[in-house]
């Protein structure tokens, strides 16, 4: 494993961008932390999750009600992932670290580990997005070819059809691979310390939490078959919504995706790489932007991951303007549907024989 650092080329784009965005944000206060809208949203989404769960486990008596409630629970769970876990893990919710930590810990509820996520997402993915052989988010498994550096297999010709069904398995994958990664002490090529007793206790508690709410409590009220069916539906929905959203921003034709050169030096400046490896989608869909916690403004998120997502729609035109001035490609899919089509085409392109 080559652990020598990956280097980006120098440039003046990032400094110019930062100056312009900071000038715009100055009147609102740095970072916009502890925004009441974020807390209202957190309460609403957590309430949505709890109410869906209580009604599903303790009240629902028909198959139709149980199906609708398990889907509702799944969408609420994904909403927790977008708005509490993701922002909290970036330290973007509050100026108080304990509030960010509490938000980030909501990932344990969904089957993942906030500790592994910090290394996999904040450190590896955010520093080296779409760099083949470095960005661990591209390493989904042998049944999918999502980047040009990966070997092509015959089954990949049909991946644009079957992959959508596998996306839903994300919580199960998190649950199992986190245990493997924690034992190994690295995620992809990134090593991480595993001797912190608090982190270890949180990791173990998190792996107990999911089976308790998803299996043990429902089994006190329902047969194993019913529990397995509706728990699977909820977890699958969480995985599907989260996976598709993250992939729509990076695995499409307009997002650059290339292998790391042998020199381990990227030809572009870090901030230019962040812009050209992501695509915004549906920027004018305010309901979707609210639910996705601003993840449809992926370019702005990658440039300013510590900035509260409530600012992304406002800074997007500034980012675009600076990109135009510096000749940096800034890509947007106008609607959610066009982003889905772009991801379908990317899967088809990657699945073709090379
Ligand atoms: Zn992020």
Alpha helix (H) ranges present in 140-264? 159-167, 170-184, 197-211, 217-219, 224-250
With bands split at pLDDT 50, 70 and 90, how would you rate the model's confidence at 262? confident
Distance 268 CA to ligand 1 centre (A): 21
What secondary structure letter does DSSP report for 31? G
Please give the model's pTM, rounded to 2 decimal places.
Answer: 0.91
With bands split at pLDDT 50, 70 and 90, how would you rate the model's confidence at 2? low
Rounded to whole angstroms, the Cα distance separating 115 from 195 reads: 12
Q: What is the dihedral angle through the alpha carbons of 344, 348, 349, 351, rounded to the nearest 10 degrees?
A: 140
For residues 240-253, give the mean pLDDT. 94
pLDDT of residue 179: 92
Distance 135 CA to ligand 1 centre (A): 13
For residues 235-247, give the mean pLDDT. 94
pLDDT of residue 187: 86
Distance 225 CA to ligand 1 centre (A): 37
For residues 227-242, give the mean pLDDT. 96
pLDDT of residue 325: 96
How many Å is the maximal CA-CA distance in the chain?
62
pLDDT of residue 70: 98
Count of alpha carbons within 13 angstroms of residue 139, beta-carbon side: 16
Distance 29 CA to ligand 1 centre (A): 22
**Using one digit for the tens of pLDDT, what is the confidence trace for 99-153?**
999 999 999 999 999 999 999 999 999 999 999 888 989 988 899 999 999 999 9
pLDDT of residue 31: 58
pLDDT of residue 96: 94
Distance 41 CA to ligand 1 centre (A): 18
Q: Is the pLDDT of residue 154 over 70?
A: yes
**Using one digit for the tens of pLDDT, what is the confidence trace for 63-111?**
999 999 999 999 999 999 999 999 999 999 999 999 999 999 999 999 9
For residues 164-174, give the mean pLDDT. 91
pLDDT of residue 28: 64
Distance 121 CA to ligand 1 centre (A): 6
Distance 275 CA to ligand 1 centre (A): 14
Mean of the per-residue pLDDT values of the chain: 93
Q: What is the dihedral angle through the alpha carbons of 11, 299, 188, 343, rounded to the nearest 10 degrees?
A: -130
SS (H, E, C) 313-336: HHHHHHHHHHHHHHCCCCEEECCH
For residues 260-274, give the mean pLDDT. 91
**Using one digit for the tens of pLDDT, what is the confidence trace for 23-79?**
888 776 655 788 888 999 999 999 999 999 999 999 999 999 999 999 999 999 999
What secondary structure letter does DSSP report for 232? H
Give counts: helices (H), strands (E), the chain: 18, 8
For residues 187-195, give the mean pLDDT. 84
Where are the chain's structural domains? Answer: 7-351
Distance 303 CA to ligand 1 centre (A): 10
Distance 123 CA to ligand 1 centre (A): 10
Rounded to whole angstroms, the Cα distance separating 40 from 340 reads: 30
Token pair 């100026």 in the structure block, residue? 95
Measured in whole angstroms, the distance separating CA 149 from the mean position of its chain's CA atoms is 22
**Using one digit for the tens of pLDDT, what is the confidence trace for 330-343?**
999 999 999 999 99
Distance 250 CA to ligand 1 centre (A): 12
Distance 300 CA to ligand 1 centre (A): 10
With bands split at pLDDT 50, 70 and 90, how would you rate the model's confidence at 303? very high
């Amino acid at each position: 494993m080559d652990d020598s650092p990956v280097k980006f080329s120098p440039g003046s784009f990032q400094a110019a961008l930062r100056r312009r965005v900071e000038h715009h944000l100055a009147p609102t206060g740095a970072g916009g932390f502890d925004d009441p809208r974020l807390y209202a949203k957190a309460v609403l989404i957590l309430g949505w999750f709890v109410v869906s769960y209580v009604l599903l486990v303790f009240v629902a008596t028909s198959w139709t009600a149980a199906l609708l409630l398990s889907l509702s629970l799944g969408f609420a769970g994904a909403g927790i992932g977008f708005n509490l876990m993701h922002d909290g893990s970036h330290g973007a919710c509050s100026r108080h670290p304990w509030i960010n930590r509490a938000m980030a810990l909501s990932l344990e509820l969904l089957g993942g580990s906030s500790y592994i996520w910090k290394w996999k997402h904040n450190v590896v993915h955010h520093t080296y997005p779409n760099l083949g052989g470095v960005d661990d988010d591209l390493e989904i498994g042998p049944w999918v070819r999502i980047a040009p550096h990966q070997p092509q297999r015959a089954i990949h010709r049909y991946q644009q059809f079957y992959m959508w069904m596998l996306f839903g398995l994300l919580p199960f994958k998190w649950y199992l691979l986190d245990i493997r990664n924690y034992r190994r002490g690295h995620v992809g090529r990134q090593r991480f310390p595993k001797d912190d007793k608090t982190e270890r206790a949180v990791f173990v508690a998190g792996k107990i939490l999911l089976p308790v709410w998803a299996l043990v409590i429902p089994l006190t009220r329902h047969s194993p078959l019913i529990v397995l069916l509706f728990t699977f539906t909820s977890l699958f929905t969480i995985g599907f919504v989260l996976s598709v959203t993250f992939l729509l921003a990076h695995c499409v034709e307009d997002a650059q995706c290339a292998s790391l050169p042998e020199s381990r030096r990227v030809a572009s400046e870090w901030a230019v790489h962040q812009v050209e490896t992501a695509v915004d989608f549906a920027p004018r869909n305010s309901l979707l932007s609210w639910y996705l916690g601003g993840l449809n403004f992926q370019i702005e998120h990658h440039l300013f991951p510590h900035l509260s997502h409530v600012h992304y729609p406002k800074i997007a035109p500034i980012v675009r303007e600076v990109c135009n001035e510096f000749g940096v490609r800034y890509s947007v899919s106008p609607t959610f549907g066009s982003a889905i089509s772009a991801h379908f085409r990317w899967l088809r392109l990657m699945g073709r024989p090379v």
